[in-house]
Amino acid sequence: MIQIDLLDSLPKSNRPLDERAEASDEDRKFHWDLGKEYFDGTRAQGLGGYYYDGRWKPVARRLAGYYGLGPESSVLDVGCAKGFLLHDFSEEVPGISIAGIDISGYALSEATDLTKPYVYMGNAKELPFPDDAFDLVISINSLHNILDRAEVVEALREIERVSRAHKYIKVGAYRNDEEKSRLDNWAVVATTYLHCDDWLSVFEEAGYRGDYDWFNP
């Protein structure tokens, strides 16, 4: 269990923190259905248009190499959104088994033809998979959304349950007041972003033994 940035090859995005800070509570709650406006609306209120462009390919290569994944391996993405990382896993590691789960019906409907048969609607608190089903379970910038602290613990226990080998998550976290302020301003659907030390306590409570990293905009 180590902290490691396995997403360092992702292009850096421009995050309009000032515009986000001006959003009202009503504006933010409007996006809690994680529908079209959240994914493909304005950058000030959501992801600003989340379309497939291959940006996850180097991440898929990095994860596959780091965890030794090959054609006989399997990967689950918890909070997969439109499944673009899974798409790139399939292209970068031909033959790998993929699966994804997300609570957004809109996002899943926008998955590529390659991944659509393998992504499912569901909640991280109750993963519809048997024990020890996957070689790698990932959750990138998802567990801090919508779920409260107790629910995050449930989700981490589920990730542990369905993984037979490796786990990697990235969650919203801060180390000081400035970083907390950035998350306060950036968060639209994030409900559980914690101090890094508090996250480590959550991991211990959940029995989470996988790798991790922090997200701060």
Assigned domain for 61 exists = yes
Q: Alpha carbon of 13 to those of 10, 44, 131, 136, 148: distances in Å?
A: 9, 13, 36, 26, 27
Question: Does 197 map to a domain?
Answer: yes
- Please state the domain count of the chain: 1
Q: 123 lies in which domain range?
A: 54-215
- Do 104 and 81 touch, CB atoms closer than 8 A? yes
Looking at residue 44, its pLDDT comes to 57
The rounded mean pLDDT for the chain is 87
Residue 30: band (very low, low, confident or very high) from pLDDT cuts 50, 70, 90: very low
Query: Is 30 inside any structural domain?
Result: no
At 182 the pLDDT is 84
Task: Tell me the pTM.
Answer: 0.88
- CATH code of the domain containing 127: 3.40.50.150
Question: How high is the pLDDT of residue 46?
Answer: 56
Task: Report the candidate in 161, 136, 162 with the shortest Cα–Cα distance to residue 64.
Answer: 136
Angle between the 84-92 and 57-67 helix axes, to the nearest 10 degrees? 60
pLDDT tens sequence across 40-63: 666 556 555 567 889 899 999 999
Q: Would you call 22 helix, strand, or coil by DSSP?
A: coil
The pLDDT tens digits of the residues spanning 83-102 come to 999 999 999 999 999 999 99
Q: Is residue 181 part of a domain?
A: yes
Residue 63 lies in a domain: yes
